[in-house]
Structures are given as structure tokens and as C-alpha cells.
Amino acid sequence: MAATLALAAALVSAASAEPDPPPPDKDQRPAHPAPDAAGKGDGKAPEKGEDDKAVSEVEVVAERPAVVKQIDRQIYDVRKDPEAQTASVSDILGKIPSVTVTPTGGVLLLGQSGVTILVDGKPGSTRALRGADIERVEVMTNPSAQYGPRGTAGIINIVTRKDRRQGQTGSVTAGIDSDGGYRFSLGPNWVMGRWIVAANIGAGQSDFSSSFERLRRQDDGLGGMVTIREGGRNGYAGEDLQGGLKATFRRNDRQSVYAGVQLYRSEGQSDGRERATADTAAFDAYSQRTRGPGLYEGGNINLGYDWTGKTEGETFSLALSANPWSNEDTTISENRYDNPALPDLRILQRNRQVTLQTELKADYKRPLSGDRILSLGGAWTREDEDRRQTFETLTAPDPLRDQDRSISGLRDTQAAYVTYQFPLWTWTLMPGLRVEYEAFDVQSGGAFGGSDHLFWYPSLHVGRDFGDDLKLGLSYSRRIDVPDLTQLDPAIRYYDPTSASRGNPNLQPVTTDAWEARLDYTNGAFSAGLVVYDRESSGTISGYSVLTPDGVRLSTVINAGQSANRGAEVSLRGKVATNWSYAVTTNLFWREQQVLVGGAPRTDSQFSYSGNAQFSWKANPAKPDSGDQVQLGLRYLGPTRNYQGSSDGFLRADLTWKHPVTKKLMASLTISDLLDSSESHSTIRAAGYDQDSTYRGSGPTARVFLTYRFGAP
């Protein structure tokens, strides 16, 4: 790490000593002189005698393409989406090719879990982000060595908007939904000479409900089977408040420093009801109600320095980020048994989690002669987490369940990477290597444990252009998923009288080797992409459940051996008429993994699919903001198997209508889960019991929003 900081200090010193501005990018030369400190130009506009042709200023405006392909990522511009101003982050991600968002909020890449989500290239929470904050989304299904190896499925980098127009700009949004929720947000920006200040504040209320049904057949302890039926509803009502401020000072045209802070607070009340009955009087039927408050507080603090060198494309950045957050909930469970001889049971449970993630990161990129590009950098990351759980039986002490447990972990990671892009005949190659040293210490119940590892993560990206229309890319990377404290915590957490979960302190990381071949074709408004991939994983983490002697279903996690995901994704984007366009992505994959059959593991293969589609109509395609827009969006995921069971797929449809009221006032209507079809089913086949479960969300929800843009056009 000392070498990394020394390199950073040397480059900062060199950058500060550089007096002359770089030449403008050949494709981005300004039509006007660069502003001075007062934002009024450099005072050297052409005089009549200087250039007879400089009789008027000309501004050239080019629209950014919806999709940009780079050697190691796909970049999607989401600013023109009808929901861009009002949608949540998960709604925006659910429309991106290769990305699937499940009904419960899980994010998959190419149908696989284990996705790392970054904000502006750094770890950070997406809770405070609005759709209006997002400029583009970078999808890296096979990232280069520049990025950390966490997330075996890949990386999604959300790039936020940065408005550099002189003066004051921004937007204000207000809306309500059919569940009784509301949302308000204000995002002003000021550009004053060399200062850029961006602020945001927002508040909202949300109500969410879901229902479930479970049918369980389990051993009755006497050589027979008992059938248990469970069903209920879970509800949550809460309010949230968020605000942030970021200031950037451009020292000159090549150097800038910034500082920003974002705070978020969410407070609410949960209320769940459950009923359990059986086909035998030996089972004590009961009703349960679980309710209590919850509080989430978090923030992001960012400091940074950016420098652009004389050589076109030469950049250096130094960034420090801290992400503290805490989550605390208190629940009281009241169980009433049908048998009057059994007393009611009241249980108090408190959970508190406090986390601080800190990262210092330096990146340097320098173009060399002959279309060669060298990138190198380093990072130091610290993750400090504490968890405490209190479980207390209020009606009568229970020495088997009552507990006060805590677990804490400290993970330090030091990393260095290098990538080198160079041409070879008609190909472009970019090999890379990342080296990480990790020290992980855990304390639980007075016991200490830890590990030290040195990891090597190679990557290779190869590209070739066959003319302007056809591009081929080949890539390889090695990635890893490390267990978090929740998965390692051995403490038992009870959900009701017959179900509980615990972590596994012996859990090992998952390592993945990923290969991809990507072919992209573009012809005017039409584009097509094909991705063929193979991901081989070792130590796959899977859920595992057993039935304890006292009839409690105990769930944990284990390393379930080898697994592989192989498949192909096809993406099509284009127009069927002047006003109609489409974007369709379908991923077909073959999964091999270990499953339990008759209590013994064996290799199982399964075919499945995932994808999304958007069909859009624009009254004025040349100027979307000046006319109505309608978009129908679909998300779908096929059935999947796991170590002890399987899950059915889902289909969800969303409809959005965007209508300009005035030039600066926009109205939108969105109906989520239009067909009420995002119901999901799952099964578990465990030793001692089988279980079939059904989960249903809140159903169709309508949202109406008004967005007003103020300031410069």
C-alpha cells in the first residue's frame, strides 16, 4: 500500500506542476472558448480582423447513442427513458440488457446471482438514488483487472449525472401511488465559473404488502408424515428522508477536486400475520403476529482529485470514500395456540448491524505510441462490521432460545492492478493482472478467528472490428465471492415456532473462471448483439435445510461443490416504424450444479432463460421531450434448480405514459406489475420434510408524477 500511495503522491505532484491545458479531444472540440473563473469566456473571442470567417458562433449538438460498446463493458444511456425522472434504481436496471431484477429485488447478470453494484466506480448505497440522478449504466459481465473481483456474475456501475451548464439548473419531482405512498425530490445545480455545486433533497412514504402460502410434509417422529399448512401476509409502512451536497472546484481545464456527502434515513413499521394448521391433532395449530419498528441510517462521504494530462486520454484520479450505515429492528412475536391448555407465547427480538466501508483508490491511464494504452492503480479497502442479536422469551424464560449474541468482522484488502491495451495485426488486446492481499478477522461469542490470503486475478480482453458495422470481442476473467458476516454467523435466528436459520462459520469463498465471446452488429437504427459465455465456479454457496429433532426447520448455507453456467444471449434493438421502437434481450442458458437426490449429491443439468423487452412509441422521435411517449416493458426469468429444491420463473409487465404539459413540466403515469403476474413458487426437498411455497407481491401499482425542470434550457 505504501507503494500505491507513493505513486499517487508523485502523480499528484506532477499534475500540479503542469501549466498548459491539453488540446481538446479531436471529437469534442468546443464551439466556444472555455470559460474563465467568472464563467464569461477567456476574453479571446475572434475579432473581425482576426478571422474573416468567424462571423458567428456555431454550436454543434450530437445526441449520444443509446448503447456504446467498449472492449470490457457495455454502456447504456438511460436519460431518454420515459421513466428516467421518476423510476427507482431497480426499475431502471430491470430494463438493461443482461440484467434481471427479481420480484424480491434481487439482481442477476446473465441469469446468475453474485452481482457487485458500484456508484461512479466506488462502493456506495443506491437507496438515495433516483432515476433522475442516473446518466448511464455500465454493465461488465466480464470485468477487467481494473475492478475488484467481488461478484462472480460481474459488475454494474451506475454513473450519475453531472450538469456543467453555466447558471442554475435542476428539477423538482412530486408524485403519489395507488398504495398510499408519495415521493418528493428537489435537485438543484449551480455552475459558477470554476465551481460546480450539486444538491439534492427528497422525502417519501411507502407502503408495501406481500402474501405467502406454504405446504409442508414432515416426519411426525413416529414413523409417519404430517401435512402442515401455513399462510399469511407481511406489510411495511415507512417514511424516508435523504439529502446530499457535492462541490467541485476546477482549478484549471485539467485539474479538479471535489467533496460530497449523502445522507439517508428510513424509519418504518412492519406487521406480519401467519396462521399454521395441520392434518393431525398432534400438531399444535397457532396464529402469529409479528410487528415492530425498524430504522435504517446511512451515508456516503467522497473526496477526490481528477487530473487530465497533456497527452490526449491521459488521466489520473485519487478518490477516498467512506460508507457508514446502520440497520436496527425490534420485533415482538405473539403466538396464540388453538389448544387452550398451551399458554400464549411472546418473544422479543432485537437486531442491530453497524457497518463502515472505507476505500482509498488511485487510477492512472496513459496512452502510448502506436495506439497503446497503459492503465495501473491500487486500492486499500477496509470493511468493519458489527452485528448483535437479542432473543428473549417474554412469557417464560427459554434457555434453549433466549440469547444475546454478537459477531464482528474486520476485512482489510490491499490491491494493485495493471492493464495494457495494444494492437496486434488487426486485433486489439488488453491483458490485465490484479493482485490482492486480504486479512480477515472475526470475533464471535468470545472466540477469535481469521485468515490471510494473497490472490491473483488475471483478465484478458481481445477485440476486432470488421469494418464500421461488425465488432468481435473475446474475454476471460477470474472472480471471487467471499462470505459476509450474516452467512458466517453461527447464532440461530427464529422466525416462528417451527422455522429458524443460522450461518456457517466454515463457509469458504466462491471462485469463478469466466469466458465470453461477444459479436455486435450495427446498421443505422438497428443493432444486434450475441454473447456466448461459460462460467465455471468452485465452492458454490447454496442454502441447506434440515429438520431438527424438536421439529424446527433449520436453514443454513454450505459450499455445494462445482457449478457451471453456459449459454447465449441475443439482443435486438431497432425501429419498426417512424414512431415505434423495440429493445429485446433473451438469454438462454444451461446450468450444471450439485443437487441432493435421495440424500446424496449428484450433478444435475437444467435449461432455463431470462431477459427483458421494451416496446416504445414516441409522438416526436426527433425530440422525445416535446411529445408523448408510451412504453411497455417486460421482464422474465425461467425456472431454476438449487441444491435442495427449485424455483419457478416469473413474468412482469410495466406500462409507462409520459406527457409534456409544458416545455419544462412533464407528467408521467406508470403501472407496475400490470398483469399481476409476478407470483413466484419454490420447493425444498430436505431430509425429514418437503415444502412448497408461493410468494405474491402487492400486485399492480399505479404511480403518477410531475417533474418540473428549471434553469438553463
CATH code, domain carrying 308:
2.40.170.20
What is the full DSSP assignment across 418-478? Answer: EEEEEEETTEEEEEEEEEEEEEEEEEETTEEEEEEEEEEEEEEEEEEEETTTEEEEEEEEE
- The band of 579, judged by pLDDT with boundaries at 50, 70 and 90, is very high
The verdict on residue 513 lying in a domain is yes
pLDDT, position 324:
96
pLDDT, position 64:
61
pLDDT, position 282:
81
Q: 573 or 67, which is more confident?
A: 573
SS3 call for 485? helix
Cβ partners under 8 Å of residue 223, min gap 6: none
pLDDT, position 50:
37
Torsion of the alpha carbons at 464, 466, 468 and 470, rounded to the nearest 10: -90
Pick from 512, 505, 385, 455: which is nearest to 114 by CA? Answer: 512
Cα-Cα-Cα-Cα dihedral sign, residues 701, 124, 94, 244: positive
- The band of 713, judged by pLDDT with boundaries at 50, 70 and 90, is low
Q: How many whole angstroms separate alpha carbon 286 and alpha carbon 283?
A: 9
pLDDT tens for each residue of 402-457: 888 899 999 999 999 999 999 999 999 999 999 999 999 998 876 778 888 899 99
Mean pLDDT of the chain: 86
For residue 164, pLDDT over 90 is answered with: no
For residue 293, pLDDT over 80 is answered with: yes
- The band of 68, judged by pLDDT with boundaries at 50, 70 and 90, is confident
pLDDT, position 489:
86
For residue 39, pLDDT over 90 is answered with: no
pLDDT tens for each residue of 322-379: 999 999 999 999 999 999 999 998 999 999 999 999 999 999 999 999 899 999 999 9
Cβ partners under 8 Å of residue 321, min gap 6: 122, 123, 124, 300, 301, 302, 303, 358, 359, 361
The verdict on residue 257 lying in a domain is yes
What is the full DSSP assignment across 40-60? Answer: S--S-PPPTTT-TT-SS----
Q: How many whole angstroms separate alpha carbon 485 and alpha carbon 489?
A: 6
Q: How many whole angstroms separate alpha carbon 216 and alpha carbon 226?
A: 8
- For the ranges 208-217, 526-535, 584-593, 595-604, which has the lowest average pLDDT? 595-604
Q: How many whole angstroms separate alpha carbon 638 and alpha carbon 626?
A: 38
For residue 134, pLDDT over 90 is answered with: no
Place of cell 464482528: 408
180 burial class (0-12, 13-18, 19+ CB within 10 angstroms)?
exposed
The verdict on residue 138 lying in a domain is no
The verdict on residue 186 lying in a domain is yes
Partnered with residue 706 across adjacent β-strands are: 174, 667
Q: 80 or 37, which is more confident?
A: 80
pLDDT, position 41:
39
Q: How many whole angstroms separate alpha carbon 509 and alpha carbon 507?
A: 7
Strands 134-140 and 73-77: antiparallel
Spatial contact of 558 and 642, defined as CB atoms under 8 Å apart: no
Q: Which three three-digit cell numbers place residue 63? A: 445526441
Partnered with residue 573 across adjacent β-strands are: 527, 583
The verdict on residue 37 lying in a domain is no
Spatial contact of 520 and 471, defined as CB atoms under 8 Å apart: yes
The verdict on residue 16 lying in a domain is no
Q: How many CB atoms neighbour CB 31 within 10 A?
A: 9
For residue 4, pLDDT over 70 is answered with: no
Q: 535 or 129, which is more confident?
A: 535
Spatial contact of 481 and 494, defined as CB atoms under 8 Å apart: no
pLDDT tens for each residue of 176-228: 999 999 999 999 999 999 999 999 999 999 998 999 999 999 887 777 889 99
* Torsion angles phi and psi, residue 12, rounded to 5: -65, -40
The verdict on residue 286 lying in a domain is yes
For residue 52, pLDDT over 70 is answered with: no
For residue 619, pLDDT over 60 is answered with: yes
pLDDT, position 63:
53
Range of the domain at 405: 166-711
pLDDT, position 576:
92
Pick from 592, 409, 595: which is nearest to 485 by CA? Answer: 409
Q: How many whole angstroms separate alpha carbon 571 and alpha carbon 590?
A: 18
Mean pLDDT confidence for 65-86: 83
Q: What is the pTM of this model?
A: 0.84
SS3 call for 5? helix
The verdict on residue 410 lying in a domain is yes
- The band of 520, judged by pLDDT with boundaries at 50, 70 and 90, is very high
Q: How many whole angstroms separate alpha carbon 492 and alpha carbon 500?
A: 7
Pick from 590, 609, 465, 458: which is nearest to 533 by CA? Answer: 590
Q: How far is CA 214 from the centre of its chain?
A: 30
Mean pLDDT confidence for 646-650: 91
SS3 call for 26? coil
Rg (CA), the chain: 28
- The band of 679, judged by pLDDT with boundaries at 50, 70 and 90, is confident
Count up the domains in the chain and report the number.
1
pLDDT, position 225:
86
> What percent of the chain lies above the pLDDT cut of 90?
62
SS3 call for 584? strand
What is the full DSSP assignment across 362-392? Answer: EEEEEEETTTEEEEEEEEEEEEEEEEEEEEE
Q: Which three three-digit cell numbers place residue 423? A: 494492437
Strands 499-501 and 553-559: parallel
Spatial contact of 326 and 296, defined as CB atoms under 8 Å apart: yes
pLDDT, position 10:
40
Spatial contact of 497 and 286, defined as CB atoms under 8 Å apart: yes
pLDDT tens for each residue of 464-516: 999 889 999 999 999 999 898 889 888 888 887 788 899 998 999 999 999 99
Torsion of the alpha carbons at 51, 53, 56 and 61, rounded to the nearest 10: -110
Q: How many whole angstroms separate alpha carbon 655 and alpha carbon 168?
A: 33
pLDDT, position 123:
81
pLDDT, position 285:
93
pLDDT tens for each residue of 97-113: 999 988 778 899 998 88
Cα-Cα-Cα-Cα dihedral sign, residues 520, 133, 153, 142: positive
Pick from 335, 369, 336, 364: which is nearest to 349 by CA? Answer: 335
